[in-house]
A and B are shown apart, each in its own frame.
Chain A
Amino acid sequence: MPWVLKGFNLLIGKGEFHLVLGASGCGKTTALNLLAGFERPSSGRILLDGHEVTGPGVDRMVIFQGDDSLYPWLRALENVEFGLRIEGLPKRVRRDKAREYLHLVGLAGHEEKFPSELSGGMKQRIQIARALVCRSPVILMDEPFAAVDAQTRSILQEELSQIWERTRCTIFFITHDIAEAVLLADRISVMKAGPASCIKETLVVDMPRPRSPGDPVFARYYDRVHSILTTGVRRASERQPEGRQE
């Protein structure tokens, strides 16, 4: 069997906002599924705080790309309190907590709405609130803003940045959008094109926040990441003329 990931080594610091960037089909989502514990590595190990990851757990929340991870039969507030319900918290406590986090993501006043009554951007906010309310130290994000319109995306990116500065959780965020990576990351890991993908280069984004795409420093980082990314893709597309779909 061919390897999806091979020689994939990554060390992420506590409280770090780490972006993983790569072309479609390079194995980004596989890496995230391994960290989340949805899949087990055929070889190699994943350690969180010194303990091996063997399955999904409340110490690692996942924000999925689409909205199909929300429960359409639950109202916004009920979706957010889902994890607390599983935990077995009394109703009053979890209601209050869920409301607090719904406010944090800017959805005050939408508590009683069902997901079908909310826009794509709002649904992603619910996902974020649902993950944050559990106070997990690690959040794994799988291209969470890829399916929302550009304007909403930039608002969500800014808000995520603020939420991260406030909560200081560790974020593992995968994307194929270079601007998104430069905007959000402490460090960016660029992946080689698949199969048998690994991390080609990790670079530190040393730029104060909030960051602006108009900043010349931003443009320099953008170009740097872009050149790292495209050399690999070009080489890969020479090998595999049809390319691969993710």
Chain B
Amino acid sequence: MTRGFVLTRLVHVAARSALTYALPIGVFIVLWQVWSDVYGVPQLFPPPSTTFRTLLSMLADGSLVRDAAASMARIGTGFVIGSVIGAFLGLLMGSSRIVREVLDPYVNFLRFISGVAWISIFIVWFGIGEASKVVLIVYTTVFTVLLNTVAGVVAVSPNKLRAARCLGASRRQLFFLVTLPATGRFILTGMRLSMANSFLVIVAAEMVQADSGIGFVIIAARLFLAPDVIFSGMIVLGLLGLLSDRLLTIGSWLCFRRYYLQN
């Protein structure tokens, strides 16, 4: 796995993505146009042309960048904090049976309560500012990362640990030299999944209480009956999500690719 290999692999992935995305996007835009024409009321179902014009004007006056940045900052902060907490608790639960048995009921109860259900409570507890939104993303991220991490720790093959014990590893060394690296790819998978969840709940939170963010843009557009703005917000969400996921995947592959390898 040389530098050259990494580069060609990246170029290959980029070229393939361009091809696999260009066609579906083209088909999508044509279908949208046709459907909008058939519907016949562009004020309620704007065609792609109107929507893209709105999108460009939002981009030009800087409001779109400001709102996207606000949403991304909330997601980013909550995602990082939540991943750290989730991975830490997951490693702890996976490594210690006592911790696992004590925490398991709480985890399996709470993970079924959507973050959305907590929004009002978090606003009351953490205020109407950024804190409540970040806490919401942390909450959303923790469980997915945690459960994946526990699954990863449990899946470490006993012979890897036994071999290390033969070679004289202490409990600490077993953890840092075997369990943690063997669990790496599970943690990263958990992070990827929770990134998607974060995008889902942040919109809801910004709709309930915010003065910025893509969710706020969408809910405000409802009041002015501006479906083109709603569509623009949706497109931005989809693009940002796609971009974040790709960045996370490629980034983790570049930095941690040896932890994705299997025997």
Contacts and interface: CB of A to CB of B under 8 A. Distances in A.
Contacts of A71: 160, 178, 181-182
A85 interface: yes
A242 interface: no
A73 B258 contact: yes
B263 A86 contact: no
Interface string B156-184: 01011011111111000100011001101
B162 A82 contact: no
A156 interface: no
Report whether over half of chain B's contact residues are helix, strand or loop; otherwise say mixed. Answer: helix
Nearest to B168: A58
Interface residues of B, number: 23
A56 B165 contact: yes
A143 interface: no
Given A71-B181, A86-B173, A114 B162 contact: no
A183 to B, nearest CB: 26
B164 A72 contact: no
Nearest to A85: B177
Contacts of A86: 164, 167-169, 173, 177
B223 interface: no
Nearest to A84: B167
B157 to A, nearest CB: 4
Interface stretch (A62-70, A190-198, A218-226): A62-70
A67 B168 contact: no
A76 interface: no
B159 A64 contact: yes
B262 interface: yes
A83 B173 CA distance: 11
A171 interface: no
Contacts of B159: 64, 66, 68-69
Which of the listed residues B164, B165, B173 has the most CB atoms from chain A within 10 Å of its own CB? B165
A99 to B, nearest CB: 18
Given A68-B157, A69-B159, 20 more contacts: A36-B162, A38-B162, A38-B165, A56-B162, A56-B165, A61-B166, A64-B159, A68-B263, A69-B162, A71-B160, A71-B178, A72-B261, A72-B262, A73-B181, A73-B258, A73-B261, A85-B177, A86-B164, A114-B258, A114-B261
Interface of A: 36, 38, 55-58, 60-62, 64, 66-74, 82-83, 85-87, 114-116, 123, 130-131, 134
Interface of B: 1, 157, 159-160, 162-169, 173, 177-178, 181-182, 184, 258-259, 261-263
* 7 A-B pairs with least C-beta separation: A83-B167, A69-B159, A56-B165, A69-B163, A68-B157, A73-B258, A72-B261
